Structure 1
Amino acid sequence: MSMKPRRVEDRQDHYYWKAKKEGYRSRAAYKLLQMDRKFGIIRKGYWVLDLGASPGGWSQVAVELGASVVAVDLAPMKPIDGVVFIQGDITSKETREMIRGVREKFDVVICDASPKITGHWDIDHYRSVELVEAAFSMAREFLKPGGSFVVKMFQGQETPRLYSEFKKHFRFKKLHSPPASRKRSSEIYFIGKGFGGKFRPKRDDTD
């Protein structure tokens, strides 16, 4: 990732400059830090599968929190100590086999991937949905029982459906927007903890 500000919003963004100063590869690192501080997602000794990982901000945070990481992305990523990087498509059988060659099951699956933005809200939302569903498919395959899943989605008409589907599989479930998300962004994160089977329904946890 180039550290030169490329857009006006970068030049005016607190977290952009904070990331540059503190050595994170992207401002998104603070989103994971904030969510982990609030929800306790990653612990020392965990194995984390980071989907759509490049340039590596979330992988950096996971390593700092004491985890070992397998990072996956179509784009290349510069090496990080404690991270095994796999360049591949998360929807492909070959990529899944490469992941399985490193680790069969993970304590946490995280995904901060975004589709290529077109500027057309409907298109961007549905492309986001495709990514989110692919990440959830990976989580169902690779998460240990009791594991955690964090994924970014763009809010839209499919958000309630996705939440309704995902929450069946986690004891704790919540939609959350960390302070580091840009105020004008439509992104929101699904956080699920306690993976494994269907649970007795409780009151809505989205508040």
Structure 2
Amino acid sequence: MFTGLVQGVGRLAARDMRGGDARLRVDVGTLPFERVEPGESISVNGVCLTVVAFDAHAFEADASNETLALTTLGSLRPGALLNLERALRADERLGGHLVSGHVDGVGHVRRIVVDARAQRWTFAAPSPLLRYIAQKGSICVDGVSLTVNAVDAGGFDVALIPHTLAHTAFAGTGEGDGVNLEVDLVARYVERLLTTRDTA
């Protein structure tokens, strides 16, 4: 599990295609990387990946064909900025919201508008996900926990404060770019409980 609070910004160093899937090499950049272990989970732009090899400056992870097809990791070019977060420990503060690293869909940036010292970003979202997105609820965009300001028939708005803009890969994201979306786990479980109750 993750919190959606980005711990560092790295870069995609290489993507080695291997018969439909890929081995990714990620330069960890500013991510604290002490005591990493093989098999550890790291969120890469909101996608939970498993460390299979590492050195002091980078790690490697395998991305399945499904992961490449259903997230932005299949289209990112080497050098792209990446939001990175190591898995949550049981004794850490939950400052964002519970994030699984299982991407629900890919959206894209529709509009970026300056709003005082912040920026207001509007994202398009796949229509099946919109029922899980609520005003003042939480959503994870490229691994970043954000509060939804508004929702319409095509997507949602968030405000990015200066700290978020300075400490995430959003600095390398622009209008039209794709983003990984994970809706709030609580909304999914509530829907599942209601569906199960109605059919019991």
The higher relative CO (CA closer than 8 Å, separation ≥ 6) is in: 2
TM > 0.5 fold call: no
TM-score, normalising length from structure 1? Answer: 0.28
TM-score, normalising length from structure 2? Answer: 0.29
Q: Which has the higher helix share?
A: 1
Q: Which has the higher strand share?
A: 2
